[in-house]
Structure 1
C-alpha cells in the first residue's frame, strides 16, 4: 500500500482508493459490488447441537464455529442468500440431523 497507517487523512484516502478500484474479474468498481451484495437479504443459519463427529462436513460447507462468548449460541453457523436458504436447511436436516 501507499500510506502510513493510523493517520486519518491517509486512512480515508486508502479507503476511497480501495472502493474505487475496479475488480479484476468483473472490472466493476469495488463499491458497486459491495452495495449490490449489501442490498440482497442474507440469512444466518445455525446448526445447534450438531453431532461432533459431523463437524468436518459443516466446515467443508463453509460453516464457522461460534464459541458463545458473544451471547449467541455455542454452535456452527453460516450465512447464505435467500436463494440458498432452502438448500441449506435441507442439508442440515438430511446430512447433519439425519432426518427425512
Structure 2
C-alpha cells in the first residue's frame, strides 16, 4: 500500500524522513506529498502514526493499493 501524507505540517518533515517517507514534488502527476509504501497488514499502524505524531488529529490519508505492475513500471 502507498500511503500519502498530503498537507503534512512542514515542521514534521524530519520525522517523516526518519520514518522512511519520501517527498513527491508533483511533477509526475501524483499529489505533492510525502509518501511511503507499507505492507497491507501495517496500514492501520501507519495511519495511527500519522494521526498521532504528524497531524495530531483524526485523518484518513490517501492510500493506494499497488500491484507489482504499478510498483515496478518504468517511469516516463
What corresponds to 2:69 in structure 1?
none
Task: Find the partner of 2:40 among 82, 92, 99.
Answer: 82
Q: Is 1:70 the counterpart of 2:28 in the alignment?
A: yes
How far has the Cα of 1:99 moved from its partner? 1.3
More helix by share: 1
Structure having the higher Rg: 1
User: Comparing both chains, which one has the higher relative contact order based on Cα–Cα distances under 8 Å and sequence gaps of 6 or more?
Assistant: 2
> Structure 1 length as normaliser, TM-score?
0.56
What corresponds to 1:23 in structure 2?
none
How far has the Cα of 1:57 moved from its partner? 0.5
Distance of 1:49 and 1:67 partners within structure 2: 12
For 1:38-57, list aligned pairs within 5 A.
43-57=1-15
Unaligned runs of 5+ residues in structure 1 are: 1-42
Runs of 4+ in structure 1 deviating by more than 3 angstroms, as ranges, are none
Aligned length: 58
Unaligned runs of 5+ residues in structure 2 are: 59-76
